[in-house]
Every structure is written in C-alpha cells, then in structure tokens.
A = this chain, B = another copy of it.
C-alpha cells in the first residue's frame, strides 16, 4: 500500500513536469505567432490549452484522494498541498500564453508588434522559455540552486518589461495609442508568466526545505 502511495506521489510530480513542458511550448508558439501574425499557430495555442486544464484537474483530484485516504505525514502533506498550488500556477501560465495568442487573433491580419519592439518581444519569449526550463529542472531534481536560478531569470523579465515601456513612451514612438495599449497588455502577460514561475519555484523551495513559504511581493 505505501509503495503504491509513493508511486502516486511520483506520478503527481511527473504530471507537473509535463505541465511545465506544455506551458513552455504554448508560450514559445504564442510568441512566434505574435511576431509572425500567424493566426493558425495562435489558434493552436488557444485550442491546446484544454490539455493543460485537464492535467491541472487531474493533479487536483489525485492530490485530494491521497490526502483523504492516506493520512500523509507532515512533509508529504506539505508536498501534496504545494502540488495543488503549483499546478494552479502552471495552469494560469498557460492562460497567459493564450492571452498572447488571442492578441494575435484580435488584430489579424495586422501585426501587433511594431518593428522597434520585435527585439524585446523575442527576448521576452526566450526568457519565458528559460524560466520554464529552470522550473521543470528544479521540480525534477528538487534542486534549490535551479529554483534560485529561476528567481534570478525573473529579474531579466522585469528589465525587459521596463524596456518595453521606455520605448513606447519615448518621443520617437510613432505607432499611436492602439499599438501601445496592445503592447502594454502583452508585456504584462509575459511579466506575469515569469512571476508565476517564481511562485512555483518558491513553493518548490518550501517543499524541499520545509521552511515557511515566503510569497513576498514581486517588485513593480
């Protein structure tokens, strides 16, 4: 019985690592679709989010059943309750990739991204990939160093977020209010995506060390 219980715990981890892979792919495709004004790719990101929602629901159900039936000891209970929260955060990261994809769809066949912002958007997409990979690695290795690396990667996302605003608010901006409104939201979606990854990594640290979860504020 305990053997199968530990297998079940392990399966929950496997599901969450699969979520990081799907979330990374979603944001990668959403970024490419945004840069290329590629409606078909954008629609695919939107449609495939269902899969993430389904895995999230499965993690919820499995964790609930384990807590209800197995009376886990403190460390295992912390791990299971953290799994509930981690999978919620990953599900939300999938939603943010969908938001980026929907922005592409909203303006299609026009492109959302003015030429001066293509570099920043491309960098935001790359940083989103990196933070997701670091998160998956932290999850599978239970590594505090990997988790810390993800937190540091978020600093780079915040820098790109500010750079986006600097470009839009410079006197040389010629793309008007609509492009600025769109790009403000897009930039916010990437920034929140990385914030959620940080939350996930802080929960991993909490599970590994047993120290209290420290949410804290992400700097503005």
Binary contact readout A142-186 vs B (1 if CB under 8 angstroms, 0 otherwise): 000000000000000000000001001100010011101100110
CB under 8 Å from chain B, chain A span 17-38? none
A108 CB-CB contact with B under 8 Å: no
Q: How far is the CB of A180 from the nearest CB of chain B, in Å?
A: 5
A81 CB-CB contact with B under 8 Å: yes
Q: How far is the CB of A81 from the nearest CB of chain B, in Å?
A: 7
Closest to A179 in B: B177
Known: A177-B169, A178-B169, A181-B184. A64 touches B85 (CB 8 A): no
Q: Are B168 and A220 in contact (CB under 8 A)?
A: no
A194 CB-CB contact with B under 8 Å: no
Q: Are A77 and B84 in contact (CB under 8 A)?
A: no
Binary contact readout A58-99 vs B (1 if CB under 8 angstroms, 0 otherwise): 001000100110010010011001001100100100010011
Closest to A183 in B: B181
A102 CB-CB contact with B under 8 Å: yes
Taking A64-B78, A64-B81 as known contacts, 15 extra A-B pairs with beta carbons closer than 8 A to each other, sorted by chain A number, are A57-B212, A64-B77, A67-B67, A67-B81, A84-B84, A84-B85, A85-B88, A95-B217, A99-B220, A165-B181, A168-B181, A177-B180, A180-B181, A180-B184, A181-B184
Closest 10 CB pairs of A and B: A184-B184, A177-B180, A181-B184, A68-B77, A169-B178, A71-B71, A180-B181, A102-B220, A68-B74, A180-B180
